[in-house]
Chains A and B, each alone.
Chain A
Amino acid sequence: MTKSTHWFARSLTNQSSFKTWLEPVIQQFRPNWQATGYPASVIDNRLESDLVFSLVLRPARSWPGFKAGQHIQLQVEINGTRYQRTFSLSTAPEYRKQTGLVELTIRQQTGGLVTGWLAEHLNKGDQVILSAAAGDFTLPSTPYPMLLIAGGSGITPFRSFIQQLACQKSQRDIHLIYYNQATAPLFAEEWPLMAAALPGLKVNLIDTAEKGMINRKQLSELCPDVTDRTAWLCGPYGLINTSRDLLLELGVEDSDIHHELFGPKPLDPTMKSQSGTVHFNQAGMSLDYQGGAPTTLLELAEHAQLNPVSGCRMGVCHQCKCRKSQGLVINTLTGQQSDTGAEDIQLCVSIPIGEVSLEL
């Protein structure tokens, strides 16, 4: 929207656009319509294992599509509250072209409010809202040999990669090493079929309970030509970190390593801050916090019952962005310390140091 149409909409409606102004009216006729986001209907809710399930969705035609490996924000409303969570698409763009469908493969988080609800309550015929797809962790078009290392539900973008290559009947050299701890690998029956369809695909399924976590010996035995490949890592923080260090040791260039983190980066206990105070300027409130276990500003604001807008809670969606008027914070994603002056920060991945003032 140009600046002048934006000003015009704002003058007439006081809201950011005519669409958002009319949203509650349109929703009386089409309950699932939203000014931002795209509706999708649930076709199936399929169990993959004890804790993992796949949502089969048919996004609206207006949904702009995606590249293999990208993720979306899934939005649902649970008892009046909207929640957004980020999930990778686990099927290929080519598959959507043929069937109109996409899949999200989701692991139920212990104590997680949303993933448990999705598993239990979403059924065929229900409606959800999707964002446009985003993310740079995508299947490259240049046919370099690739090494894919996945852990647990981190397999989802690679399923998309491999399905896409299978649809294209690609000859590309792909080596997938898939780690699972005490659970059966996801899509166990698909991998042999894929390996049959793709002459360049080699799959190693590894149960860490049996063979141990990833280590140098194991990696160089499984994949002796590792330096000839670009490496793609997806899974929990520990796996990504260890694999990355091993690959660098084995001589893979840093620029040839790509990764996608699943789940939030654990707060570093060494980031322990002394206790301090957060001032919420708009609300005219202050909250003292204790040193010890680090707490994010989002958690502190919610503790003060301020309910700021929030989304993914892992630094992806930028919805909880808020103006910090002064004070120091650490961004837990980058590990970087902020400037002391005014700037926009993401509440969900920022921990305060000492005294911090927010425009909340």
Chain B
Amino acid sequence: MNNQNINFTQLEADLSAIRDHTLQQRGADDARYIRRIICLQRVAEITARVLMFGCFFSLWFPLAGMLLLAFAKILDNMEIGHNVLHGQYDWMNDPNINSRTYEWDIASDAGSWKRIHNHEHHTYTNIIGKDRDFGYGLLRMSDDLKWRPKNSWQFITYLNLSLLFEWGVAYHELAAERVFIGKKKANRTSALSDGELKRMFFSKAGRQIFKDYVFFPLLAGPMFFTVLLANLGANLIRNLWTSTIIFCGHFTEDVQTFTEEECVNESKGQWYHRQMLGSSNLTGPRWFHIMTGHLSCQIEHHLFPDIPAHRYVAMADEVQKVAQKHGIPYNTGSFFRQYGAVLKRIWRHSWPDKTTIKKNRQAG
């Protein structure tokens, strides 16, 4: 991290000013916005489920239903679930739109996700060894990680992860290798027993499977498999979309990583700085931002994780000005440019870097 020339006290003051200014505007408009998005999601989901029963007339109906259901699931997971679970709407004091009670239409149970994602990933963003979301323990996304032979086929691993993303996340947030296999890190303690974690995992996963692969297909009677496949398709489309967007937020070419030593006794200004270097944005029209749950403004999300996300787009201009003023890189670009950079990064780190080869030779 090059922090010679940055005045961190000023950086903190500048970003906090943006935060305070936005918080002053927060109010009835935000409540109306999120309720309208939830309404749209509910109507889309109901319409999609009903459309699928048109399979008795034509296979075009379940196809349209599948696409609409994927849309509904994406809205539920990204713009509603992710943001509500971050506590962005807790100030509304609405018992149903609240990080404490909201549950989303995805395999991972909201409680486990909040524990790992909100805490580990958002506090220790891109610190190798602390942020388990960095590569999800499957992919080598930085030279800071030792190359292993399994990394040579990590491009295929990545495609599989994308397709099965909801299960990857559920397994990952559960810290499943710890719970199921018994791998334990000496310094990691948990308030919850392995048994409780397992129960939460299976109870949520069971309900999800019941809904998409048992209940609605059974309602279709003889067309059981058509509806099952349409639901499966909707889940896979959602998985691909969420995984792609999330990878664009942290794994584009220029996103930086950090070591634990660098971040000891970090000030708030330095924390802000790290969040800006560790994230990247996507540009696009308003509907695109909504479909990404405003993770297209990943930088703003990491700076201000609990501000209603639909305000990030307006904040981005201000944040970019602050970045410019302090000479901090602000990583943004179109979806295709950024996604290309992600694929390049996965490919590049599939192979050992030169310094590692040298070290290995010396050691050998």
Contact = CB atoms under 8 A, between A and B. Distances in A.
Interface stretch (B85-93, B139-147, B314-322, B355-363): B85-93
Contacts of B119: 282-284
A309 B38 contact: no
A309 B207 contact: no
B175 to A, nearest CB: 15
B210 interface: yes
Interface stretch (B6-14, B21-29, B233-241, B294-302): B21-29
B27 A80 contact: yes
A290 interface: no
Interface in B111-133: 111, 114-115, 118-120, 123
Nearest to B95: A309
A36 B210 CA distance: 27
Interface in A1-37: 7, 10-12, 14-16, 20-25, 27-28, 35-36
B215 interface: yes
Interface residues of A, number: 37
Interface string B82-104: 00000100111111101011011
Q: How many of chain B's residues touch chain A, expressed as a range?
A: 35 or more
Interface string A314-334: 000001000001000000000
B118 A283 contact: yes
A219 B287 CA distance: 72
Contacts, number: 92
A305 B100 contact: no
A307 B306 CA distance: 11
Contacts of B345: none
Contact of B96 (A11, A20, A310): A20
Contacts of B38: 24-25
Contact of A35 (B31, B39, B96, B104): B96
A79 B27 contact: yes
Interface centre among B35, B93, B111, B123 (most CB of A within 10 A): B93
A284 B215 contact: no
A310 B103 contact: no
A306 interface: yes
Nearest to A10: B207
A308 interface: yes
Interface string A57-87: 0000000000000000000010111110000
Interface of B: 26-32, 35-36, 38-39, 42-43, 87, 90-96, 98, 100-101, 103-105, 111, 114-115, 118-120, 123, 191, 207, 210-211, 215, 306
